[in-house]
Amino acid sequence: MADLSVNIAGVEFKNPIIAASGTIGFGHEYSEFYPLEELGGISCKGITLKERLGNPPPRIAETPSGMLNAVGLQNPGVEHFIEKDLPWLREQNTVIIANVAGSTQEDYCKMAERLSDTDIDMIELNISCPNVKEGGVQFGTSCESVGAITKAVRKYCKKPLIVKLSPNVSDIASIAKAAEAEGADALSLINTLTGMRIDINTRRPIIRNITGGMSGPAVFPVAVRMVWQVANAVDIPIIGMGGITTWKDAVEMLMAGADALQIGTALFTDPYSPVKIRQGLNDYLDRNGMKSVTELTGTVITG
């Protein structure tokens, strides 16, 4: 039995498998499949200062080896999260990451300040949601804007700060460096790739929002490439995600430079996938005589 624990920015995870924001809500539903303590952590559904209703349906479309979503950050607001969801989550014996999104820099700062007074473990700054008109990804696509919002939030954030990066950029390594320079404790990547599908019978986009965020196995090679690029550019820990579906994908993502992993869309195909991935990862380490999962990180040989 290998040691699966990892330490990300001072926070101890019993294993590197974290449920990705937006796919597991606040954990209640998937806790009806297995105890959430099986997971290293949960990144909660993106929350905003006030309740958001989200986008009109359809919000979902399937794509070859993946899917599009445009939920549009439907959530009950940060106060509801703190009062109704957090006390229950805290009892689940897993790391709790609050994923925060906003329309303005002020929103992000207010939420970071408010959540710093709670017993969440980490804050993940969502500056990469492609499905809202204001805010979200507009903060995440240039070095200047990523640097500015990281710097601003850092002043209010007393918790370890993860900045979640968008893949819809030309040079993700530079953006990662900008976040690191302004005080990010860790990075998570990739958020979804903006995509679109059209119903050929109606000539209308399948998703009412027209475009949506693409996820699933189809984006995995893009995610591996970006994690590798960012790992070569920064010294802070990286949480790799994007289409991880099997334990082999998990091993690959760690080799590319990830210190921990998030699993999202795979939950929809198989709710047990995070548990199976954890087990497969453990078996791989044992077979290869590795004592700790940390021995895998960044071990890709490119020379």
Partner 1 sequence: MKYDARPCPLVKKTQLTDTIFDFRILNKELAEIAKPGQFVHIRVPGKTLRRPISICDINGSEFRLVFEVRGEGTDILSQTEVGGEVDMIAPLGNGFKIEPDQRTVFIGGGIGVPPMLYAAKQSNNAVTITGFRDKSAVILEKDFKSIDEHILMTDNGSAGRQGFVTEALKDVIGNADMVCACGPMVMLRGVAEIARQAGVPCQISLEERMACGVGACLGCAVLVNREDGTQGYKHVCKNGPVFNAEEVVF
Residues annotated as part of the active site = 129
Tokens for 228? 């590798």
Tokens for 30? 């998937």
Tell me the β-bridge partners of 196. 211
C-alpha dihedral over 52, 245, 63, 101, to 10 degrees? Answer: 20
Q: Which residues bind partner 1 (CB under 8 A)?
A: 22-25, 28-30, 32-34, 45, 53-63, 65-67, 69, 71, 74, 206, 216-217, 265, 267-272
- Report the alpha-carbon angle 141-16-277, nearest 5: 105
Gap between the Cα atoms of 168 and 197, Å rounded: 17
* Least gap, CB of 162 to partner 1 (angstroms): 21
* Least gap, CB of 151 to partner 1 (angstroms): 32
Measured from the CB atom, the residue of 32 and 134 that comes closer to partner 1 is 32
How many helices, marked H, and strands, marked E, lie in the chain? 9, 16
Measured from the CB atom, the residue of 153 and 218 that comes closer to partner 1 is 218
Tokens for 163? 């900045």
Gap between the Cα atoms of 199 and 213, Å rounded: 17
Measured from the CB atom, the residue of 160 and 213 that comes closer to partner 1 is 213
Measured from the CB atom, the residue of 59 and 159 that comes closer to partner 1 is 59
* Least gap, CB of 227 to partner 1 (angstroms): 21
Q: Which amino acid is at 123?
A: I
CB of 71 within 8 A of CB of 59?
A: yes
Measured from the CB atom, the residue of 30 and 139 that comes closer to partner 1 is 30
Gap between the Cα atoms of 269 and 289, Å rounded: 31
CB of 108 within 8 A of CB of 100?
A: yes
* Least gap, CB of 127 to partner 1 (angstroms): 20
* Least gap, CB of 215 to partner 1 (angstroms): 9
